[in-house]
Amino acid sequence: MTNILILSIQNRKTGAVKIQEILTSSDCIIKTRLGFHDDSTENVSLDIGIVILVVFGRKESIKKLIVKLNSVDGVKSKFVEI
């Protein structure tokens, strides 16, 4: 089974430092990390981002990571088991 955590970040510029701290503190359960961001489209500043994480380990550790990430303003996450 593969565990995927998808993050939608609405305030990327203001939340990036906190998100990075959380991900670094949980690096022992993160197998893969892929991030996308878009600063502007057609002269409109978006300040949004998407992060896709492949995570492994105990469900308890994954749930703690989700709670920490969701505590950051503008972050929403979705956990998927495939």
Q: What is the per-residue pLDDT across 21-64, written as a single tens digit (0 to 9) for each?
A: 999 999 999 999 999 877 666 666 678 899 999 999 999 999 99
Give the tokens for residue 80: 């998927």
Q: Does domain 3-81 have CATH number 3.30.70.1150?
A: yes
Report pLDDT for 6: 97
Phi, psi torsion values for 10, nearest 5 degrees = -90, -25
Residue entry with tokens 């105990």: 58
Give the tokens for residue 42: 């057609």
pTM given for the model: 0.86
SS3 63: helix
**What does 19-44 look like in DSSP terms, one character per residue?**
HHHHHHHTGGGEEEEEEEEEEEETTE
List Cβ neighbours of 35 (8 Å cut-off, separation of 6 or more). Answer: 49, 50, 51, 52
Q: Read off the pLDDT band of 69 (50, 70, 90).
A: very high
